[in-house]
Amino acid sequence: MLNKKTLTDFFLGCGAPYETADWVLFGAPFDSTASNRPGARFAPKAVRIESNGIETYSPRQNRDMEETNIFDGGDLELCIGDASVALWQIEDAVKNILNDSKRFAMIGGEHLVTLAAVRALQGLHPGLRVLHFDAHADLRDKYLGAKLSHATVMRRVWEILGDGSIWQFGIRSGEKSEFVWASEHTSMQIFNLDGLQKTAASFKDKPVYLTLDLDVLDPSVMPGTGTPEAGGIFFNELLDALQSMPKMNIVGFDMVELSPPCDTSGASTAAACKLLREMLLMFA
Amino acid sequence: MLNKKTLTDFFLGCGAPYETADWVLFGAPFDSTASNRPGARFAPKAVRIESNGIETYSPRQNRDMEETNIFDGGDLELCIGDASVALWQIEDAVKNILNDSKRFAMIGGEHLVTLAAVRALQGLHPGLRVLHFDAHADLRDKYLGAKLSHATVMRRVWEILGDGSIWQFGIRSGEKSEFVWASEHTSMQIFNLDGLQKTAASFKDKPVYLTLDLDVLDPSVMPGTGTPEAGGIFFNELLDALQSMPKMNIVGFDMVELSPPCDTSGASTAAACKLLREMLLMFA
Amino acid sequence: MLNKKTLTDFFLGCGAPYETADWVLFGAPFDSTASNRPGARFAPKAVRIESNGIETYSPRQNRDMEETNIFDGGDLELCIGDASVALWQIEDAVKNILNDSKRFAMIGGEHLVTLAAVRALQGLHPGLRVLHFDAHADLRDKYLGAKLSHATVMRRVWEILGDGSIWQFGIRSGEKSEFVWASEHTSMQIFNLDGLQKTAASFKDKPVYLTLDLDVLDPSVMPGTGTPEAGGIFFNELLDALQSMPKMNIVGFDMVELSPPCDTSGASTAAACKLLREMLLMFA
Amino acid sequence: MLNKKTLTDFFLGCGAPYETADWVLFGAPFDSTASNRPGARFAPKAVRIESNGIETYSPRQNRDMEETNIFDGGDLELCIGDASVALWQIEDAVKNILNDSKRFAMIGGEHLVTLAAVRALQGLHPGLRVLHFDAHADLRDKYLGAKLSHATVMRRVWEILGDGSIWQFGIRSGEKSEFVWASEHTSMQIFNLDGLQKTAASFKDKPVYLTLDLDVLDPSVMPGTGTPEAGGIFFNELLDALQSMPKMNIVGFDMVELSPPCDTSGASTAAACKLLREMLLMFA
Amino acid sequence: MLNKKTLTDFFLGCGAPYETADWVLFGAPFDSTASNRPGARFAPKAVRIESNGIETYSPRQNRDMEETNIFDGGDLELCIGDASVALWQIEDAVKNILNDSKRFAMIGGEHLVTLAAVRALQGLHPGLRVLHFDAHADLRDKYLGAKLSHATVMRRVWEILGDGSIWQFGIRSGEKSEFVWASEHTSMQIFNLDGLQKTAASFKDKPVYLTLDLDVLDPSVMPGTGTPEAGGIFFNELLDALQSMPKMNIVGFDMVELSPPCDTSGASTAAACKLLREMLLMFA
Amino acid sequence: MLNKKTLTDFFLGCGAPYETADWVLFGAPFDSTASNRPGARFAPKAVRIESNGIETYSPRQNRDMEETNIFDGGDLELCIGDASVALWQIEDAVKNILNDSKRFAMIGGEHLVTLAAVRALQGLHPGLRVLHFDAHADLRDKYLGAKLSHATVMRRVWEILGDGSIWQFGIRSGEKSEFVWASEHTSMQIFNLDGLQKTAASFKDKPVYLTLDLDVLDPSVMPGTGTPEAGGIFFNELLDALQSMPKMNIVGFDMVELSPPCDTSGASTAAACKLLREMLLMFA
C-alpha cells in the first residue's frame, strides 16, 4: 500500500504533496527471485539517501528538479518470499496511482517488479508499448523451475501485451532459444541502442512504459548489480540515446536491478541516482 | 534431486561413495524469504571450499573425519523465488536418503529449509523431537504476509509435530507474542544453553532432529549471518554444551543461516566449517 | 533545526507526534574532527534503517517500544567542516526540545557532539552529572591543534561543569597526562564498569546526562567505530551493568561513534540499534 | 611544517635531498569539509605505498623518474576539524618551499587544500592562472553553512585572483547558479577537455597553477573518490589532453580527492599513482 | 597431477569425459611470486562457480558451449611457496594431456604458470609461437632477486623459444630496459592491439600458444587483478580483436592474473568467466 | 639488508637512532607459503601507519614508549617466491643486529620468518628456548610438498634446537600426527595458556625467543589473519598471561600472521598494534 504522507527523506526534489503531484515515485524493494547475487531490495533506500549528495540541476538538460511536481511515496511493504503476492501488492499500488490520474516511476527491486506495473497499466492503457533496456533478454518461459522470475519477466509481459508491443535494446546475453523466440515476437536490438530514436518516433502518442535494467550499462559503470555482463553501454551513451528520443507519451517507467551490497565503492548507487534524476527531468 | 556421483570438491573427509555411506551431507542453497540481508544461498559452496584449509582431526574429540563414512552429495538445485516448490524439492531429496536407510546433514540456506527436513522425517520417525538452537524464536504465524518464512519456521514445524516436541535454546529475540505462545507450546531456554544436557538425556532413544541457526552464536564470532543479534553464545560455550550431551538417536541435523556475503573477513565461514566438522564427528 | 514533521522512516517504535511526545530522538551527523577513520556522520541514518529488522520487544526487560512515547525528529542539518558552528546548531536544537519540557536521546556523530548537549543542559539543570562510558579518556586540552575535538570533549565538558560532575567508566586508553589530570578532576573507573551501580545510586534525583561512546565495547562486538581499542567490555556486560543501575533522573543521553563505513559486516550497526532500543526502554 | 629529512618511503623516485631538489612533493591529509564520503586524508600515504608497485619509467613519455630531481617531504601535520587553521598550516609550508626557490606538487586531501596553495602563490607570482580539472564547478559561495568547503574552493580562489584567472575543464555538475556565475567570472568548458591545448598556449610564460580533482575522471576509472559523478573523462583521454599542452610555466600543481577507503579494489589508488608519475614527468 | 574423474562443478558446459574430450580445461592455483596483491590462486574455483550464472550460448559468435567437447579436470594440487616445484607439477600435467593428443586451456594463477605450459609444449611442437596479451612486458631478467617471477616470465619463455617467437600486444608498462630489450628479441605492440589480425595471419599453421594476462584490460573492466594498470583495453575491443583473427593452430591457451579477493564487486570474475567462454568457443 | 637511516614513519615511539638503540624493530614482509589467504606481507606497513592513532602510554603497565630506546629499521626487501632466499636475507639482517649487541622485534609476514630468526640466534645464544603462542601446532614435516612452510616452521626450529627447547601454548588445531609427535619432542599446552607463568619462571636466565602467531587470539578479536581458528584466546587473557610472566632474558621476539587484506574493519590491525606496544613495553 502506498504511503501518502510526505516523506522527510524523499528523493532529490520530489517533495510535492500527493494530492497535487503529477508523478509519483516509489520503491518496490523485492528481490526474492534473484538467482545470482541478491540485494536489489536495498536499492530504493540507498538511492534516496545518496540523492542528498547530488544537485537538483542537470547541466545536460538545463533543467532543475525544482521545476518538477513529483511525490515520493517511499517504499511499498512487500511480502518477501512469495513472488505472486508481492506482485499483486505492487499492482494494487500502481492502480491506485493511475486511478488518481497520475503517472509513476518505480525503483526496483529486481526486474520481475516490471510485470506488476504492466498488469496495472494494461486495462487503462490499451496499445501499451514497452521499451526495454537490458543486457539480458529475460524471455525464458521458466527459470530454475519458476514461471515468475527476473529471467522470465519479458515473456510474462508478452503474454499480456502480445506481439509487436515489446522493443528491446542493448541485449547481449541469453539462451539461444530466447534469441530465436525474440525474432518472432519482439523487436530486439542486440549489443547497442541503434535505432532507438526511430523506434521512439514510431510510437507517436501511443502509451509507453519504459523499463530500464541497469545492467544494460557496462559493469565498469555499474558493477553494483546482481548479474554484471561485460561489454555493455557507457553512461554517456545511454543518456545521449535517451535524450535523442522525441517526446513520447510515457505513462510510467522503472529503473531496476541496482544492488547496493554489490556496490562496494558506492559509485553504482551514485550513477543510478543521477540517471533517475535525468529520467525524471526528461519524462516527468 | 540429489546428485549421487562422487563430488571432487567434497566437504572435508566426506568422500565416501553414496551406496555404502551411513550419512549424507548436502547443501540447500535457498534464501528467498530472507527479510534482512540475503546470501545464505552461497553458504554450502563456501563451506566446502573453506574446508580445504582445515584439518580432518579434532583435538577436542580426538577423532578424525577419516574415521567417518559420509557422502557429500553437493547442492540441491532449487527453485528460486517460490518457497513452496523449493521446500518440496528438499523434502523429496531427504526422503530418498531416508528410504536408503541413511541419515543426513543439511547445510542451509536460510532457516526455512528445516521445515522440509521435518516434513520428510515425520512419517518415518514418529515421536520426533526437534532440538533448536537460535537467537530468534521463529514462532510467528506470518511474517511480512508470508506463512513460509525463516521467521515462522518453528511455528510450521509445531503444526506438524505438536506440543512437547520442540526444545529451544539460546533464544534472545522475538515479538512478545512469540514468547507468550512458546510458554504454552514449546520448551524454551532464553539467552543461554542451560539445561541442554538434561534435555538431551530425557530424549532417551527417541528420534531427534537438531537444527542450528548459526546466529545463536554471538555476532563477534559469527558476523556473517543475515540477522546478527548481539549478546549471544561464544564458540567454545556452544561446543562445550554440545559435547556435554549424552549420546542421542540423531536422525539428521542442519546448520543454517551462514551468509558468506556478510562474512567480509572470512572468519564466520571458517567457524561454521569447523563447527560442521565437530558436529559430524559427534553425530555421524 | 529540528524537523517536527512525522518521519516515515523513524527509529523502531518512535512514531509519536512531537507535540505529545515525552522524549525526542534525533541524529547529529557530524564527524569533522575524527582524527582516525571518519564515518560517524552516517550512523543515525544507518541505525534507523537497521531498526526495521529488529523487534520492538525486549525479552531482557519484558518491555516493548510500543509502550514508549518518543518522537524521532530525524537528523539535524549541520555545518560540515566548522565544529563551532555545528555545535551551536546542535545546542540550539536541544534547547528547543528542553524548552518544550521534553527529554532527548541523540545519535552521533562523533563524541564532540556531547559538548553541545551539555551546553544546552547546563542552565536548565544545575548540578548536572555526566555519566561517561568510553574506551578513551577524552580529557586532552588540545588535540592536533584543535580545542574542539572528539579527544578533548570531556575536558571541555569539565570546563562547564567543574570538578565532581564527571564519572567515567571503562577507560582503557589515553595519554599519561590525562590519567594524572583525571585523578584530580573526574571520577574514573579504568578498564571496566565496577562501581557503576553505587555511582548511580549516589546521584539520587540529581539530573544526569549519560554519554556512551560505543568504543567502550570490545572491538569484537563493535568493530564499526573510528578508533577500535582492544580489550573492552562485552555486550551483555554492558547491558547487565546498565540494567543494574537504580532509576535515575536522566534528562538526556547520547550514543556516539558508530561508523557504518567501518562496519563491513553490518553487525556493529545491528548491535548499536539493539543497544539504543534497550536504553530507550530503560530511560524513556 | 614541512619535514626536511629524507623519507625512507618516498614516492617513486622522489628521493632527492631537500637542499638540491628543484621540486618538492608533499601530502596535505585534510578532509574535514568532505560533505559526502570522507577519506581523502588517507590518500598521500596510500599513494606513496602503492608507488612501490609501479615502474619509474613512462613508455608514454619515454622518460624516467630517475631523471627528475624531486624531494618528497612526507605529509604535513594538520589540524583536524578546523579548516581555517589547517589552511594556514598548508599555506605556511608552501611559502617556505617557494622562498627556497622550489616548485611543488601537493597530494590532497580534499579540494579545499588548493585554496592554501593559491594563497601562498599569489604574492610571489602576480598574474597567476589556475587550470582546474574537475567534475564539479566548486563555485558556491557557501555550502552547508560554511564558506570554507570543497564545494566553494574555486569561488574563494576567485576572490583572490579575480576574473580572467580561472580556466575550468570537464565540469559536469553544479547548481544552476554556479553555471550562471561562471559565465561571467571564469572560463568553463563543460563535460570535456576541448580547448585545453589552445588555453595552455594562451598562457605563454605566465605562472600557472594546475589543480586536478580526480573526480573529473569517470567513476569507472576512479570509483575511489568521495563524490563520484557518472559520465566523465577516461584515463587515456586525460593523459592525451595533458600531453597535448605546450610547455607552460607551471609553478605548482595538486592532485586531490582520492579517497582510499572508497577504493575497495585498489585500482583507483593505482591509477592516481600512475597519473602523479606522469604529471611529475611532464611538469617537474 | 590431473584429476581424470568427472567434476560435478565443472566450468560452464565442460562436462565431457576425459577419454573422449578434445580439450582439457584445468586450474593452476599458484600465486607465490605475486609481488603486489596476491589472490590469483583463488581464480579457477571462482571462475567455475561464477559460470553457473551465465549462459552457454554466445550471441556474438552464435555458438553454444553445448557444441564443444571439453573436459574440466579441476585444479592441480600445487606446492605453495616453491615456484620451481610448482612449475614442474604443472609441466607434468600438461605433458600428460598432450601425450593423450588433447589440447588445453589453463586458468591461472599468476602469469608464471605460463612458463610451465611452454616447457611442456616445446618438445612436441617445434616452431611454437607465443601470442601474449598483457599490460606489462614481463621481460625482466630478475625481479626482487628471483629468476622465476610473474615479472620475468616472458624472458624465461624467450630463453626456451628464442628470437622471433614471441608477439606481445597491449603492453603499457615496464622498465625502460625491458622495452629496449624487446626491440631486439620480441615483437611488441605497445598500448593497443593494432596489427593483431595481420600477426595471426602470418602464423599460418604454425603451433600457437596464446597467453592472456587479464590486466591487459582496463582496470575499469578488470579491477580484480593484482597489478591494475590504468589506460588499458576495453572488453569489446579485446573480443573484437580476438574475433578478427583468422583461424590458427592453437595448441593451448591460458588466462591468468584474475584475483578474486581484489574483485570486491564480483564484476571482474564475471567478465573473466565470459571471456573464457568466448575463447573456448573460438579455439576449442 | 637492514636500513639504518632514521625512518620518518616509524612505529609509535621507536625513533631512536640505530647506533644508540638497545632494540631494533623491523618488518619481514614475506608470505609466499601462505596456503590459505595471503596478505601478511602487508602487515608491517599497516602496523606502522595504524600506530599513529594510538597513544604511547600504556595504562596497564603505567609505562610509556617514550621511555624506551628502540630503532625502527623499516621493512627488509625480500625475495618474493623463493622461501629459502628470503629466509637467508632475514637471517642475515638479524645477525647484523645481534653482532651490534642489540636485541630485536620482528613483524611478520607469515610464521615461516621465525625460522630465520632462530637460525640467526642459535650460534650466539646456546640453550635458546622458544616460547610459541599459536592456534596451530606448525609441526608438520612437509606441507603441500614443501619443507619450508608456515605449517612446518616449528618442526624446522626443532631440527635446530632439539628436544626440550620448544614450549607451545594455545594450540587448538593440527593433524593427529602433530599432536602425537609433540608429546615426545615439545612441551604443548592445548587450548589455553595455563602454566605459562611457571614455564617462564623455569627459564631463569636462559635466552628466550618468543614467537606470537596472532591467530592464537580468537577470530572475534583477530579476524584479520590468514587462517582464523574459532575458539581462541581473548585479548585481555593474552595480555594478562604475558604480564604474569616473571622477567626473562628475551633476546628477541616476533609477531606474525596479521593479514591486513583480511582485516576489513581495521580492528585487527589496531589490536596487533596495541599488542606490539605492550610487548615492546614489557620486553624492550
pLDDT of residue E37: 85
Contact (CB, 8 A) for C211 and C253: yes
pLDDT of residue E241: 98
pLDDT in tens, chain F (284 residues): 676 666 668 999 999 999 999 999 999 999 988 878 889 999 999 999 999 889 999 999 999 999 999 999 999 999 887 899 999 999 999 999 999 999 999 999 999 999 999 999 998 999 999 999 999 999 999 998 889 999 999 999 999 999 999 999 999 999 999 999 999 999 999 999 999 999 999 999 999 999 999 999 999 999 999 999 999 999 999 999 999 999 999 999 999 999 999 999 999 999 999 999 999 999 99
pLDDT confidence of E82, banded at 50, 70, 90?
A: confident
Residue C125 region, left (φ>0) first, then alpha (ψ -120 to 50), else beta? beta
Average pLDDT estimate for E63-90: 93
Residue A264 C-alpha, separation from nearest chain C C-alpha, in angstroms: 10
* C-alpha span between E8 and C43 (Å, rounded): 45
Residues of B in contact with A93 (CB under 8 A): none
Average pLDDT estimate for E240-247: 97
Contact (CB, 8 A) for F30 and F153: no
Chain C segment 255-284 residues within 8 A of A by beta carbon are: none
* C-alpha span between D284 and D252 (Å, rounded): 9
Is the Cα dihedral E119, E124, E125, E127 positive or negative?
Answer: positive
Asked whether at least 3 C-beta pairs link B and D within 8 Å, the reply is no
Average confidence score pLDDT of chain F = 95
pLDDT of residue E5: 67
Query: Hey, are the CB atoms on C32 and D35 less than 8 Å from each other?
Result: no
Percent of chain E past pLDDT 70, that is, above it, reads: 98
Tell whether D1 lies on the interface with C, counting CB pairs under 8 A.
no
Q: Angle, nearest 10°, between helix axes E113-124 and E153-161?
A: 10
Q: Cell triple for residue D250?
A: 607551471
Q: Cell triple for residue D45?
A: 600515504
pLDDT of residue C5: 61
Residue C267 has pLDDT above 90, yes or no: yes
Give Cα separations from C36 to A173, C80, C224, D32, F49 (angstroms). 45, 17, 13, 12, 11
Residue B179 has pLDDT above 80, yes or no: yes
pTM of the model: 0.94
In eight-state DSSP terms, residue F6 is P
* C-alpha span between C273 and C43 (Å, rounded): 10
Q: Cell triple for residue A33?
A: 527471485
Q: Considering CB atoms only, which of F218, F230, F262 is closest to B274?
A: F230
**3-class secondary structure, F56:** coil
Residue C209 C-alpha, separation from nearest chain D C-alpha, in angstroms: 25
* C-alpha span between B131 and D269 (Å, rounded): 51
Burial of A198 from C-beta contacts in 10 A (0-12 / 13-18 / 19+): exposed
Tell whether A95 lies on the interface with C, counting CB pairs under 8 A.
no
Choice between A68 and D1, residue whose per-residue pLDDT is larger:
A68
φ/ψ of F135, rounded to 5, equals -80, -25
Which residue, chain included where needed, has cell 598556449? D201
Q: Considering CB atoms only, which of B35, B172, B262 is closest to C265?
A: B262
Residue E35 has pLDDT above 90, yes or no: no
Residue C94 C-alpha, separation from nearest chain F C-alpha, in angstroms: 32
**3-class secondary structure, E254:** strand
Contact (CB, 8 A) for A50 and D226: no
Angle at D29 between CA D28 and CA D32, to 5 degrees: 115
pLDDT of residue A1: 59
Q: Considering CB atoms only, which of B8, B45, B74 is closest to E3?
A: B8
pLDDT of residue A3: 65
Average pLDDT estimate for E220-235: 96
* C-alpha span between A89 and A76 (Å, rounded): 8
pLDDT of residue D5: 66
Average pLDDT estimate for E271-282: 98
Query: Hey, are the CB atoms on F264 and B264 less than 8 Å from each other?
Result: yes
Residue F130 C-alpha, separation from nearest chain C C-alpha, in angstroms: 26
Residue A198 has pLDDT above 70, yes or no: yes
pLDDT of residue D79: 87
Contact (CB, 8 A) for D209 and D117: yes
Residues of C in contact with F239 (CB under 8 A): 231
**3-class secondary structure, F57:** strand
Contact (CB, 8 A) for B270 and F37: no
Is the Cα dihedral C37, C42, C43, C46 positive or negative?
Answer: negative
pLDDT of residue B145: 83
Choice between E184 and C123, residue whose per-residue pLDDT is larger:
E184
pLDDT of residue B144: 83
φ/ψ of D124, rounded to 5, equals -75, -25
* C-alpha span between E260 and F211 (Å, rounded): 31
Burial of E88 from C-beta contacts in 10 A (0-12 / 13-18 / 19+): middle
In eight-state DSSP terms, residue E257 is -
Residue B5 has pLDDT above 80, yes or no: no
Q: Cell triple for residue D171?
A: 565540469
* C-alpha span between A81 and F169 (Å, rounded): 49
pLDDT confidence of D7, banded at 50, 70, 90?
A: low
Q: Considering CB atoms only, which of F191, F220, F264 is closest to B221?
A: F220
Residue D120 has pLDDT above 80, yes or no: yes
C47-76: string of b/e by CB count within 10 Å (b at 16+)?
Answer: bbbbbebbbbbbbbeebbbeebebbbbbbb
Chains B, F: CB contacts under 8 A, how many? 65
DSSP B201-234: HHHTTSEEEEEEEGGGB-TTT---BSS--SS-B-
φ/ψ of E70, rounded to 5, equals -120, 140
**3-class secondary structure, B74:** strand
Residue D51 has pLDDT above 90, yes or no: yes
* C-alpha span between B258 and B39 (Å, rounded): 8
- Which of E2, E9, E25 is the mutation pick for testing B, counting most B CBs within 10 A? E9
Q: Cell triple for residue A17?
A: 504533496
DSSP F26-38: EEE---TT-SS--
DSSP D130-159: EEEE-SB----S-BTTBSSSTTTHHHHHHH
Q: Cell triple for residue F154?
A: 616449528
* C-alpha span between B59 and B65 (Å, rounded): 12
Residue D190 C-alpha, separation from nearest chain A C-alpha, in angstroms: 9
Q: Which chains touch C (3 or more CB pairs under 8 A)?
A: A, B, D, F
- Which of E192, E229, E233, E262 is the mutation pick for testing D, counting most D CBs within 10 A? E229
Average pLDDT estimate for C265-274: 96
Q: Which chains touch D (3 or more CB pairs under 8 A)?
A: A, C, E, F
- What value does the CA radius of gyration of chain A take, rounded to a whole number of Å? 17
C123-139: string of b/e by CB count within 10 Å (b at 16+)?
Answer: eebeebbbbbbbbbbbb
* C-alpha span between C124 and C217 (Å, rounded): 32
Residue C147 C-alpha, separation from nearest chain A C-alpha, in angstroms: 30
pLDDT digit string, tens, across residues D150-180: 999 999 999 999 999 999 999 999 999 999 9
Residues of C in contact with F60 (CB under 8 A): 172
Average pLDDT estimate for C232-237: 97
* Residue of chain B whose Cα is closest to the Cα of A86: B145
Tell whether D35 lies on the interface with A, counting CB pairs under 8 A.
yes
Is the Cα dihedral A15, A18, A20, A23 positive or negative?
Answer: positive
Pairing of the two strands C129-133 and C166-171: parallel
Q: What is the ipTM of this complex?
A: 0.94
pLDDT of residue C6: 58
CA dihedral A239, A242, A243, A245 (to 10 degrees): 160
φ/ψ of E269, rounded to 5, equals -65, -40
Give Cα separations from F268 to B266, C174, E103, F240, F262 (angstroms). 13, 20, 46, 19, 9
Residue whose C-alpha is closest to residue D283's, from D212, D213, D227, D182:
D212
Contact (CB, 8 A) for B224 and B235: no
Q: Considering CB atoms only, which of E55, E57, E220 is closest to A220?
A: E220
